[in-house]
Amino acid sequence: MPRTGFKAAGTTLAALCLFPFVTSSATSAVAAPAQPAAPSPKAEVFFDDFSGAELDRSKWKVEVTGDNFTTVNSEQQAYVDSPETIYIDHDDANTGAENGALALHARSTPGFQAPDGNTYDFQSGRVNTQDNFEFTYGRYSAKVKLPEGGTSQGLWPAWWSLGANIDEVSWPQCGEVDVMESVGEPWTSVALHGPEYHGDTPIAGQQQFEGSDPGDWHVFTADWTPEGITFLVDDAEIYKITKAEMEQNGWTWVYDDPQFMILNFALGGQFPNGVNGVTEPYFGLPQESVDKVKAGNARYLVDWVRVEQ
């Protein structure tokens, strides 16, 4: 689902080379079969394992509702810049992370008034790499742990990227790549949003966690090339779309320009409501999940984020 929320938007292969090998003697020269060279290793161009004492602001910007972010999708939380909602957890024995993990922790804050004058009963965290790190093409991955085992309806963590030209062309013309979204069901989803395909986009797929726990640590990846985008979970391909396929269907490919990465933890809203049909006590957020937020148990953990090209 689209989740842009920026004020400016008004509102979400390696090449194989063949090298002939030749042996010779005084009387003959024999050419051995050509052998493909091993693909060149990808270079790591961005990495954060959240091992510091606090969020690295040279890599990540914090979004604040009513300041540099506008509420979208009927989400029920305000994003705030607070150590209560965004912090590094170094209790690896408890989290299962290595060298610390970013925690986006949803909180119950009835009647909180954001800088835009609107009130919200929940706070949460959202960070992005806009201006700090933007990239065109590459393999980008995040190792994450979904809140409350990944099966609490209406809790909506996401890992995604957005066109860096959003200030000029707005959403969805800028292009959005959803690498992972969860709304508390036994699956996660991937999707693209662009000019003719957004909202209930037809360019989407799901990872069904049959035989595994969606609440365990999993690595969610998008492999983005000029030819297409492949989505993977724990290195297993779950969905692929090519530029040629999109153009054959009349959909505009808008993925040749830089993107920046986003991690956020929303509560309720259009996507959860579209799945669970809940309207009370909050749109898309049932009482059971509200109780978990109130108990302090709803948080989204990120062990690391990596980009390779």
Could you state, in order of their start, the residue ranges of all structural domains in the chain? Answer: 47-308
- The band of 214, judged by pLDDT with boundaries at 50, 70 and 90, is confident
Is residue 38's pLDDT more than 70? no
For position 92, what pLDDT does the model report? Answer: 97
Is residue 18's pLDDT more than 80? no
80-122 pLDDT, tens digit per residue, is 999 999 999 999 999 999 999 999 999 999 999 999 899 999 9
Is residue 210's pLDDT more than 80? no
CA-CA distance, 90 to 106, in Å (whole number)? 18
For position 21, what pLDDT does the model report? Answer: 24
pLDDT, mean of residues 47-66 = 97
CA-CA distance, 227 to 297, in Å (whole number)? 42
CA-CA distance, 50 to 42, in Å (whole number)? 22
For position 36, what pLDDT does the model report? Answer: 42
CA-CA distance, 52 to 307, in Å (whole number)? 19
CA-CA distance, 46 to 33, in Å (whole number)? 39
Residue ranges of E strands in 172-297: 176-181, 187-193, 204-208, 217-225, 228-233, 236-242, 259-267
CATH number, span 47-308:
2.60.120.200
For position 32, what pLDDT does the model report? Answer: 38
- Residues paired with 96 in a beta bridge: none
In this structure, is the dihedral angle defined by the CA atoms of residues 3, 220, 185 and 79, taken in order, positive or negative? Answer: negative
CA-CA distance, 134 to 261, in Å (whole number)? 8
Count CB atoms within 10 A of the CB of residue 199.
14
pLDDT more than 90, % of the chain: 83
Distances in Å between the Cα of 114 and the Cα atoms of 157, 184, 282 are 21, 26, 18
- The band of 39, judged by pLDDT with boundaries at 50, 70 and 90, is low
Write down how long the chain is.
309
130-159 pLDDT, tens digit per residue, is 999 999 999 999 999 999 989 999 999 999
For position 4, what pLDDT does the model report? Answer: 52
Contact 23, 15 (CB under 8 A): no
258-301 pLDDT, tens digit per residue, is 999 999 999 999 999 999 999 999 999 999 999 999 999 999 99
Residue ranges of E strands in 59-182: 61-62, 77-79, 86-89, 101-105, 107-113, 119-124, 126-128, 138-145, 155-163, 176-181
How open is the CA angle 288-279-294, to the nearest 5 degrees? Answer: 30
